[in-house]
Structure 1
Amino acid sequence: MGARVLGSLRRQLLGWLLLPLTVLVAIDAVSVYRNALEAADQAYDRSLLASTRALAERVTIHGGKVTADVPYVALDSFETDTLGRIYYKVSGIAGEFVSGYDDLPPLPRDARRSEAYPALVYFYHAVYRDEPVRIAALYQPVYDNSMRGIALIQVGESLDGRHDLSRKILFDTLLRQAVLVLAAALLAWIAVRFVLRPLMRLTAEVEARAPTDLSGFDPALVHREVRPLVDAMNGYMGRLQTLIAGQRRFIADASHQLRTPLTVLKTQAELALRANDPAAMREVVESIARTTDSTVHLANRLLSLARAGHDAAEARLEPVSLTAAVRQVGLELAQQAVRKDIDLAFDGDEGAEVTIHAQPLLLHEMIANLVDNAIRYTPQGGQVLLRVRSLPCPLLEVEDSGPGIPAAERERVFEAFYRGDAAQVANAGGSGLGLAIVADIARLHHASVELADGAAGLRAVIRFPAAA
């Protein structure tokens, strides 16, 4: 399943900025709208209460009865002020109908007195003549010399004006918030474009680079958050440079080292073709066989060196038994030791497996090169001892009874193709790559390699980091 293709970074940044902003603006718009409606309701209720009080002032007692003198001019004034239809009802002391609209919805039993005003007033919603109305019910004391009591004055108004005002508030709020979102989107787009400019410059610099230019980029060219990416790119190009340099070195070394034995083989083959004496021809063919063996050994070592460099770039270390790996190599090279009558022995911690973190193939290659070198440079009838220890750290020792290496040359033998005088005498067909391969693989495993004097020859010691 292929990886999901990512879209525009600018678009994603704008989306992540504007989407939450739009949600917040919507929440704010709802809050502003509700607050505005509450303020509008308070203003309309105050106006409705003023109308009710104005009507209450015209309620008196005349002839022992409650009367209301409400001219139509006053009602017209109320309707002009509220922009809605006005309905009223005046009830006497005993609840009898006095004036107005007798079917106006009564005050509900569960209505609560308004705490916003000192007057004894109640506000409630009702439906009258198939339209919603808001009604203010005010208890007004009335009295004269003959009687006293409390009359009820109800004034209701249709909600047309309130609805018109609420719609206006809503549209105004949405318009302002929409302008705010658009302004924020424009500013965010400009800001994102400005912020991404260093990244665009880095992109242009990458595109302008020559294919062979693997130098690093300056992290100071980009923002702090992008610098880890630039550092990772620089690290990757550094590893790539190392890998390419190793391949170039391998090609140069291989072409240089293989040219001589191939030339010798060609010369020996021409001599064999010109030889008429069977004995002389046999001697030349035997020489060709020896040169071929030496060339095959050199080619194998070159390939091992190249594989060590390639695998080092991709190696993943894992827990590996060093004890088992050394035993395996000993079994594989036992036949080679038997041909030279060499006593190949193993010495390990009794009943214990020494575990290290390693790349199994490279670890096997390193041990095989050490043991192969020891067998090649140990004379007939000699001894080679493989020793594994766990304390104070995982340790591998390969000790032989060969001629050894002078102390002055023990650092240089880890260089590719270097061979001292004693090594050329002891093994004329050597390639000078065995210890170079050992050093490269040991470096990958964060291990140290040391050459020291053994009981009768040379002792190679590799110390590994302790396994977690």
Structure 2
Amino acid sequence: MSSASRTGSLRGQLLAWLLIPLAILVAIDAVTVYHASIEAADLAYDRSLLASTRALSERVSLVEGKVVADVPYVALDSFETDTLGRIYYKVTGINGDFVSGYDDLPPLPKDVQRSQAYPALVYFYQAVYRGEPVRIAALYQPVYDDTIRGIALIQVGESLEARRDLSRKILFDTLLREAMLVLAAAALAWFGVRYALRPLMRLTDTVGARKPTDLSDFNPDLVHKEVRPLVAAMNGYMARLQTLIAGQRRFIADASHQLRTPLTVLKTQAELALRENDPKAMRAIVESIAGTTDATVHLANRLLSLARAEHGAAEGELQPVSLASVARQVGLELAVEAVKKDIDLSFEGQREVMVRGNALLLHEMLANLVDNAIRYTPHGGKVALRVFKVDVPMLEVEDSGPGIPQADRERVFAPFYRAASAQETHAAGSGLGLTIVRDIAAMHGAEVALLDGAQGAGLKVRILFPV
């Protein structure tokens, strides 16, 4: 068997189908959780950044028409302690003039949308300042005194170190938690699959421990419902195997029993021929040996036909077969035997009568019927072979021989049974012809009927095939 057609481990496939989709779902979940956590962290940091910006805006005022910012270092240290990052700020006056802080802090881009999460004129954007990324909150703060009113711009930026540290921590915690979940699920799945396959493993052990001669059924209730059809198929296969073995044993017993007598006779005749000095007497013995040999060959052929019929029934291979073609072939093969006895062998029937069957076995069945008819029909008699279809396909073989008494018509199908009339007509018969016919017909689901011939004389064998 090639490796491409070899099926792997059932346990491995079950674990793969359980764990691979689970790992994919866990990975998708980990990505989703990570992004959701980052969004939540960004929201929290933006809120803290806005709080720092508002705290700075409270220290911005308008003095003598100029914007001033009172931002002591203590306040900046407090901002940095709260955010765990470096803080940069810038205060711009009413007319866009620099007031305090870092004058080179990146300005507010024109395309940035105002944040809708807070009731304030605040804008969040990211930029690069002094070689590192920063997050900046820009808040427009109204300032006024008795003489002038205006809006100052307060910008507070923080480095993203704290956010990155938090992102890495969230990612690590998420992956660790999901990995532990996958490992726990893998362990549970492994134990679950192993437990679920225990009945199948017990069945495997039972099959392995069976003796070669033990063909008894396995109990399907010992395995899962899904495996019971397999056990039923195994039981069915063993039943067919028992039938085949029983047929072989019967064939061996029948062959040994039936061949013992003619072989003993042949041996005796050969010994007599060796001791005989008279040529005429020796010729008579040799002729007797030839007759016994013919009978033995005929018996062996019938035994082989019976074995072939039983073997064909075990295989059960059925194909569309034309009964007319089979009948013509059998008629041509046995025409010589009919001519030797001056028997009128005729064929009647329709051209195409199809049945599902085994062509070789149907040929064997019909050959046995025609051979029997020729053997038991006297010189100058008639044998008719008919194939036709009325409601169902039919096959008939009718002869003008002595027929079979009504009392013997059921018993003649038994192996080696011969009616008294048959023994009187043809003493060298084997008693297997109709047994072979019955077995092959049964294989095809056909029925065999023994009827009287025309005008109540002879025998008509009719075989009815299923539609």
Q: What interval of TM-score do these two structures reach, taking the shorter chain for normalisation? A: over 0.9
Deviation at 1:383, TM superposition (A): 0.7
Counterpart Cα distance in 2 of 1:96 and 1:402? 136
Aligned residue in 1 for 2:134: 133
Query: Cα offset for 1:268?
Result: 1.5
Alignment of 1:58-137 (within 5 A): 58-137=59-138
TM-fit CA distance, 1:275: 2.5
* Pairwise CA distance, 1:274: 2.5
**Separation (CA, whole Å) in 2 of partners of 1:21 and 1:367:** 65
Do residues 18 (structure 1) and 15 (structure 2) align?
no
The residue that corresponds to 1:190 in the other structure is 191
Separation (CA, whole Å) in 1 of partners of 2:92 and 2:392: 106
Aligned residue number for residue 282 of structure 1: 283
> Counterparts of 2:151 and 2:426 in 1: how far apart (Å)?
131
Map 1:300-449 to 2 at 5 A.
300-349=301-350, 352-449=351-448
After superposition, give the CA deviation of every residue in 1:220-267 in whole Å (9 maximum; x if it has no partner). 011111111111111111111111111000000000000111111112
Distance, in Å, in 2 between the alignment partners of 1:31 and 1:120 is: 31
Letter in 2 for 1:425: E
> Partner residue of 2:162?
161
SS of residue in 2 equivalent to 1:13: helix
Counterpart of 1:430, as a letter, is G
In structure 1, how many angstroms separate the alpha carbons of the residues matched to 2:451 and 2:126?
104
Deviates more, 1:6-15 or 1:450-459: 6-15
CA drift at 1:271: 2.1
Letter in structure 2 aligned against 1:313: A
For residues 88 and 200 of structure 2, the distance between their equivalents in structure 1, rounded to whole angstroms, comes to 71
Shift of 1:201: 1.1
CA distance in 2, matches of 1:408, 1:141: 127
Q: Which residue of 1 aligns with 2:245?
A: 244
Cα deviation, 1:320-373, whole Å, max 9, x if unaligned, reads 111111111101111111111111111112xx4111111111111111111111
Query: Which structure 2 segments of 5+ residues have no match?
Result: none
Q: Secondary structure at the match of 1:146?
A: coil
Paired with 2:7 and 2:356, the residues of 1 have a C-alpha distance of 38
CA distance, structure 2, for counterparts of residue 39 and residue 411 of structure 1: 93
Superposition deviation, residue 10 in structure 1: 2.0
For the residue of structure 2 that corresponds to 1:134, the secondary structure is strand
Task: For 1:462 and 1:103, locate their aligned partners in 2 and report how far apart those are by CA, in whole Å.
Answer: 111
> What is the CA–CA distance in structure 2 between the aligned matches of 1:320 and 1:213, rounded to whole Å?
38
Shift of 1:281: 2.0
* TM-score w.r.t. length of structure 1: 0.97
Q: Deviations over 1:124-157 (max 9, x none)?
A: 1111111111111111111111111111111111
Secondary structure at 1:75 match in 2: helix
Separation in 2, partners of 1:368, 1:75 = 115
Aligned to 1:293: 294
The TM-score with structure 2 as length reference comes to: 0.97
Q: Deviation string for 1:185-244 (max 9, x for gaps)?
A: 111111111111111111111122111101010000111111111111111111111111
Q: Deviations over 1:404-459 (max 9, x none)?
A: 11122112211111111111111111101111111111111111111111213111
Q: 1:276: Cα distance to partner?
A: 3.0
How many angstroms apart in 1 are the aligned matches of 2:49 and 2:165?
17
In the TM superposition, residue 114 of structure 1 has moved relative to its aligned partner by 1.0
Aligned to 2:202: 201
Amino acid aligned to 2:465: F
- The CA deviation string for residues 304-330 of structure 1, in whole angstroms up to 9 with x for no partner, is 111121222224211111111111110
The aligned counterpart of 1:36 is: 37
> Identity rate of aligned residues, in percent?
75
Q: Distance in 2 between matches of 1:115 and 1:463?
A: 91
Partner of 1:56: 57
Task: Structure 1: state its 5+ residue gaps.
Answer: none
Write the mapping of 1:255-270 to structure 2, written as runs, cut at 5 A. Answer: 255-270=256-271
User: Partner of 1:93: helix, strand, or coil?
Assistant: coil
Residue 76 of structure 1 and its aligned partner are, at CA, apart by: 0.8
How far apart, in 2, do the equivalents of 1:391 and 1:143 lie? 117
2:227 is paired with a residue of what secondary structure? helix
Amino acid at match of 1:369: N
* Pair 1:229 & 2:239 matched: no
Query: Amino acid of the residue matched to residue 2 of structure 2?
Result: G
Deviation at 1:8, TM superposition (A): 2.9
Residue type at the aligned position of 2:241: L
Say which is worse superposed, 74-83 or 310-319, in terms of deviation: 310-319
* Residue of structure 1 in register with 2:221 after alignment: 220
Letter in 1 for 2:79: F
Once residues 77 and 224 of structure 1 are traced to their aligned partners in structure 2, the CA distance between those partners, rounded to angstroms, is 71
Aligned mates of 1:135, 1:363 — CA distance in 2: 96
SS at match of 1:225: coil
Deviation at 1:9, TM superposition (A): 2.5
SS of the equivalent of 1:124 reads: strand
In structure 2, the residue matched to 1:271 is 272
Q: 1:452-467 to 2 correspondence within 5 Å?
A: 452-455=451-454, 456-466=457-467
Report SS of the residue matched to 2:137: strand
SS in 1 for 2:91: strand
Structure 2 Cα separation of the partners of residues 154 and 391 of structure 1: 105
Following superposition, the deviation at residue 2 of structure 1 comes to 2.5
Q: What SS is found at the alignment partner of 2:428?
A: coil
Query: Size of the alignment, in residue pairs?
Result: 464
